[in-house]
Amino acid sequence: MYEVEVKVPADHEEVRDRLAELGGDPVNEVTQEDTYYDAPHREFAETDEALRVRREIVRSDSDGETPTEDEAFAELTYKGPLVEAESKTRREVETVVEDDEAAAELLGALGFDPAATVRKERERFALDGYTVTLDAVDGLGEFVEVETEVEGEADVESAREAAYDVLRDLGLDPENQIRTSYLGLLLAEEDEE
């Protein structure tokens, strides 16, 4: 499975207005806390890979009016190196884990050390077969991601081009795309301080 993703910095209020005009369907709002790990056997920063445990709390409305209870879960994710220069597309392997603390303990026992944590508030919308996510990332600001999943590399280019069209429909410029992960952006911020 490949995650085809394009991300740009953007003002959320303007994008929300445009999503409403285009008929974007609200999906949910979530809080995510991603803990990234360093590997004992190779340097992920050099290989452009990532391993993380994500803790997510989903806040959703059952009928658009009556709030439902928050749902919390955790995932273990491996992200491979970028597969093209035009987007943040990469191979992704993900599984839900029952106990995020046990997953962290397991990784620690194998020599994987926590490297950094990224915290963000996300609003997700469905539009034209894509997920449009408005991200407010602690320490970085506001971004918009447009993403989808495809089975193989042969489908990446057409999915990316369609994601660019969604960005344009939202009044955003694909030329402003940031291919660096939030983790990379945060680490760069820390290096500048």
Residue 65 has pLDDT above 70, yes or no: no
Can you give the length of the chain in residues? 193
Residue 3 has pLDDT above 80, yes or no: yes
pLDDT for 68? 55
Contact 139, 189 (CB under 8 A): yes
pLDDT for 60? 59
Residues 6+ apart with CB under 8 A from 165: 128
Residue with the bigger pLDDT between 78 and 1: it is 78
* Across 18-27, 81-90, 165-174, least confident range: 81-90
User: Per residue in 156-180, pLDDT tens?
Assistant: 999 999 999 999 999 999 999 998 9
Burial of 62 (0-12, 13-18, 19+ CB in 10 A): exposed
Q: What is the pTM of this model?
A: 0.85
Residue 90 has pLDDT above 60, yes or no: yes
Q: Is the dihedral of CA 74, 144, 18, 169 positive or negative?
A: negative
pLDDT for 187? 87
In the chain, what's the furthest Cα-to-Cα distance?
Answer: 50
Residue 62 has pLDDT above 80, yes or no: no
Yes or no: domain 2-192 corresponds to CATH 2.40.320.10: yes
Residue 55: CB atoms within 10 A of its CB come to 20
Strands (E), the chain: 2-9, 25-38, 50-59, 71-82, 90-97, 113-127, 130-137, 141-150
- The single residue of 36, 37, 130, 164 carrying the catalytic annotation is 36
d(CA 34, CA 102): 15
pLDDT for 138? 96
Contact 175, 167 (CB under 8 A): no
The answer to whether residue 37 is catalytic is no
Distance from the first to the final alpha carbon of the chain: 37
Q: Assign 61 a pLDDT band (cuts: 50, 70, 90).
A: low
User: Per residue in 107-157, pLDDT tens?
Assistant: 999 999 999 999 999 999 999 999 999 999 999 999 999 999 999 888 999
